[in-house]
A and B are shown apart, each in its own frame.
Chain A
Amino acid sequence: MLHIKCPHCGMRSQNEFSYGGDATVKRPELNKEISDQDWDNFVYYRKSLRGKHKELWQHISGCRQWIKVERDTATHEIFKTVKAHEDI
């Protein structure tokens, strides 16, 4: 079980969080033309990285904030966690 530092609450066990996927994906702006390919990339295509991965987690059983986590997908080492609006 991972130990994740919520930037709002401190160190908490993984079972208080839910995983939210790649944190680098940016939703296309509303009301803007977008090609099929770009939309597909946004909705479906994700890299399955080995190594450092920037990802989203939500502290659902705590403060309910979405946070950004940089984690090594092979070793589970967590390098950094920041608040939703901060860059990672």
Chain B
Amino acid sequence: MTQNYRLDKIGLINRDKKLSFKFNGKNYFGYEGDTLASALLANGVHLIGRSFKYHRPRGFFGAGVDEPYAIVQLYRNNETEPNVKTTEQELFEGLEATSVNCWPSVNFDIGAINNFLKVFLPAGFYYKTFMWPKSFWYKVYEPIIRKAAGLGVASTKHDKERYEHKYEYCDLLIAGSGPSGLASAYAAAKNGARVILAEDKPRFGGTLLTSEVNIGNQTGKEWAENIISELKEMPNVIVKNRSQVFGYYDHNMLVMSEKLSDHLPKTKKYNPKQRLWYIRAKEVLISSGSIERPLVFGNNDTPGVMLSSAAKEYLKVYGVLVGKKPLIFTNNDSGYETAIEFKKNGIEPVILDTRKEPNSEIIEEAKNLGIQIKFSYVVVAAKGYKKVNAAEIAKISDNKNDLGTLENITCDCICVSGFWTPTIHLASQSGNKTKFDKDIDAFVPGVSKQSETTLGAANGTFTLAETLKDSFNAGYELSKKITKNDNKISHPTVVEKNKTTHDKFWCVPLPKGKNYKRFLDFQNDVAVSDIEIALKEGYRSIEHVKRYTTLGMATDQGKTSNLNGLQLVSNIENKIVPEVGHTTFRPPYTPVTIGAIVGREVGKHSRPTRKSPMHSWHEKNNAVFVDAGVWLRPRYYKIGEETLFEGSKREAKNVRANVGVCDVTTLGKIDIKGPDAAELLNRVYTNAWLKLPVGKARYGVMLREDGIVMDDGTTTRISENHYHMTTTTAQAANVLSHLEYYLQLVWPELNVNVVSTTEQWAGAAIAGPKSRNLLQKLFPNIDASTEGLPFMGYIEADLFGVHARIFRISFSGELAYEVNVESDNGNFMWEKIMEVGQEFKIQPYGTEALSTLRIEMGHIAGSELDGRTIPYDNSLEGLVSKKKDFIGKRSLDREAFIADDRQKVVGVVPIDKKTSIPEGSHLVKDAMAPIPNPKLGYISASCWSVEYDNPFSLAILKDGKNMIGQKLFAMSPLKNKTIPVEIVSSHYVDPKGERVRS
């Protein structure tokens, strides 16, 4: 197949490497260096999709990031990606793409019936039409809209690609490698600054690749290539192509998305697909250039109508003709550059210039080349449905209000130039208050808020000489400020053709009796008439007009449409554009993939995984793990085909009957040292701590200042000025910060140091009636009797040559000990316990059995300490000192906290003694009461009591202390269960605590 629109001798593509690709199932080929857009155009394909709302045929409008509608669904390496701009997607071997917004196909589109039936969806259509009847929305409207609209389909498969994040610091970040970017980067780099130069396209150079200029004695393109290769060699410079700086955040932090692999058929092994850079720059130079503005006329969305700069870029970069009979429609000199390029390549363009008698070097050149130019002429409407085949043109009066006789002119494309809009997105995002420049009819950056400078076309400077002068200077001055070096490069001389002023005219009036659609926003199908309706209906703020009409709200964020929209509003409202103001520019400048944003933090990498030193033992012994905060803990140790229920029941029973061992390494541990350590504890905990003897542990509860329980745990006095605090697994980090807060800010006079030792100690809880026998065997030299090591006692001992700490504490209701050794010895300790414990029928137990044991003895834990309960609610009021002050004490006097019917923890047993009560169930008096059924309390934790062999739950219940013996209902609408229950004491097992003290 020949490429009918490809020229032989022009372009930067690699003609030695042919690439085949598929579009809508049809085979084509292009060359290495093509974009999908240029390759399709080379093959004469102009129909790319359907528009979002009216399903009108869509072609190509731009050649880069500004493209509003040449968007496809891309298939690459067995994956698919929606919303891909053909103008940005580089061609690779085997690329496949399909149209979006077309159902059932791009050539026959059901949605387009909207168009023919004149059921044009005007501004606010969705708001007005789909309101009634309500049921129609779900059944009729939404499915049809969903099917007919949308910009493609997201993959539902797991994304196997790798995305990375990178943090970087630099002196100067330069966004855009056009003339201003290159010049400032070069000047700054030569002056010793650390520079990052980012270019979103594959090729560096920006407009230098397509304009006919000379810098020094080189062409613009040669100069760009030489500067780039020199920059690449410099150790203080990072040069990145395919990298879009899309967001400017606080304190000069910018985020850049680097596409390393999207241009390849497949990501290379060990390479990321994309990389997100977080760059903290001392100074930012915004050299993002400008985007050509469309001219607005009838049917200006027809495929074949495109920006004149895009036509030039297709020609000069890709060697592609967007048409063979081009009509150039311009209000400024830029259109002439495109016309001249066509002419030089053997194509006869016709120029329609809205101006009356403009004169400049470039217009002279066009005239000398014999190009046909019609002054004071406009395109009234494009003709043709799926592709431009003619244009309706007319002479326009000097005041631009009246059209002359309509004429038809044959053409196969219309290249429009409505002058240039500086790309001020980054500057605006930085907080820069932009200002309106009347000379160019556009906003430019105003006063800088952060350390940012905008240069070149992005700053409204459209001559190369001025741009280079400013940019060399800015690069030098800013780098000098940072590096204090003084190495100045003189800027080169420039040869460029001078241009004359543009015409402020941009929107062609409708001829009498014609009702052509004139589009402003091509992606969202917003026409001039839509804005008119919105204003007629009373919308005034440009932000409201935007939302009502969806102007500029599509994925291109109105890059080509914003200013024309503003112009129109200001014309109708008889205001000047700066009074209307522009809508806020928000990051990202271009769409960024979710993968890049998430980076490596996916799946199990979404947070760190912490494992205890005994983890491999648990693994080898069939532990089924559960996430406990960031820790992995054994939930139960599976024997054969045991279920969680069976296994945890077996383990808990064995603790009650013999002895079990549980890995409690995950408990938070804080080492507290200093002469005022006891005083700190006394202020932090609700109970008294000043008289705790050395070698003793105590259970404590700490509150927040608002009286809510923050955490509980035991703290042991290791020596005179040395304490060992334990916290719950979940609160470990918060408790440490809490202590640091009071020590550093509130009571700095206390001489105490705190440090986390959670990772330094491995812990094993040994629980059950035979735990003393086991302990005595593990530590033959200690006195393990209740006299030698009483309840809440603490000793240090030698475990087969390893130093160990032994605490006699229990959360299971059984006689129990906790042994700590240095983490490196954790596995050794565990194996010794299992080995010596054999004769006592020891079994390891996991968190499920641990929960069962604590629930049935009524020991509160995280599910009761849920940030809403006070000590009384948890039956911990006995631990609240009346004598001393402590954090949060004053709040306990609050009216609600001392109310007679205050909630309290209770036990709950199903009347049938069989039905387990789902956690989270509500307790109600009357199961049949109408909704909302008044809630008396909620189930906080449930287990199967191994002591009584029936279900048992804990609940926080209103007036709990007077409810014992009452019959209520536990209702779980989620599980669709209503269970008659009886309220009992929360201390279901060993209410007097005899076992733990035995």
Contact = CB atoms under 8 A, between A and B. Distances in A.
Interface string A36-63: 1001001110000000000010101000
B678 to A, nearest CB: 15
B280 A76 contact: no
Given A3-B253, A75-B449, 8 more contacts: A1-B249, A1-B251, A3-B280, A27-B705, A30-B886, A60-B737, A85-B744, A85-B748
26 contacts: A1-B249, A1-B251, A2-B250, A3-B252, A13-B167, A13-B253, A18-B737, A27-B705, A28-B890, A34-B890, A39-B891, A42-B705, A43-B891, A44-B706, A58-B740, A58-B741, A60-B733, A60-B737, A64-B740, A65-B744, A66-B740, A66-B745, A75-B431, A76-B251, A84-B745, A84-B748
Interface string B710-733: 000000000000000000000001
A42 to B, nearest CB: 7
A85 B750 CA distance: 13
A9 to B, nearest CB: 15
B395 interface: no
Interface string B870-913: 00000000000000111000110100000000000000000000
B929 interface: no
Nearest to A18: B737
A34 B167 CA distance: 49
B737 A1 contact: no
A18 B431 CA distance: 25
Contact of B890 (A39, A64, A75, A78): A39
Contacts of B748: 84-85
A31 B737 contact: no
Interface of A: 1-3, 13, 18, 20, 27-28, 30-31, 34, 36, 39, 42-44, 56, 58, 60, 64-66, 75-76, 78, 84-85
Contacts of B249: 1
Contacts of A64: 740
B263 to A, nearest CB: 30
A76 B886 CA distance: 36
A39 B249 CA distance: 39
Nearest to B278: A1
A2 B891 contact: no
A76 B891 contact: no
A8 B987 CA distance: 50
Interface of B: 167, 249-253, 278, 280, 431, 449, 683, 705-706, 733, 737, 740-741, 744-746, 748, 884-886, 890-891, 893
B223 to A, nearest CB: 36
A76 to B, nearest CB: 5
Contacts of A60: 733, 737
Given A1-B250, A13-B280, A66 B744 contact: yes
A2 B884 CA distance: 42
- For B705, B737, B745, B884, the residue with the greatest tally of chain A CB atoms inside 10 Å of its CB is B745
Given A43-B891, A58-B740, A31 B885 contact: yes
B737 A30 contact: no
- For A3, A30, A76, the residue with the greatest tally of chain B CB atoms inside 10 Å of its CB is A30
A65 B249 CA distance: 26
A54 to B, nearest CB: 13
Nearest to B707: A43
Nearest to B706: A43
B885 A30 contact: yes
Nearest to A64: B740
Contacts of B278: 1
Nearest to A4: B251
B59 to A, nearest CB: 41
B741 A76 contact: no
Nearest to B894: A36
Contacts of A36: 893
A34 B705 CA distance: 14
B630 to A, nearest CB: 15
Nearest to B734: A18
Contacts of B167: 13
A2 B167 CA distance: 14
Per CB-CB distance, the 3 closest pairs between chain A and chain B, nearest first, are A3-B251, A30-B885, A84-B744
Nearest to B890: A39
Contacts of B893: 36
Given A39-B890, A66-B745, A76 B250 contact: yes
Contacts of A34: 890
Given A1-B250, A3-B252, A20 B705 contact: no
Contact of B253 (A1, A18, A30, A39): A1
Contacts of A65: 740, 744
A83 to B, nearest CB: 9
- For A2, A84, A85, the residue with the greatest tally of chain B CB atoms inside 10 Å of its CB is A84
Given A18-B737, A31-B885, A56 B250 contact: no
A20 B733 CA distance: 14
B450 to A, nearest CB: 10
Contacts of A44: 706
- For A28, A39, A44, the residue with the greatest tally of chain B CB atoms inside 10 Å of its CB is A39
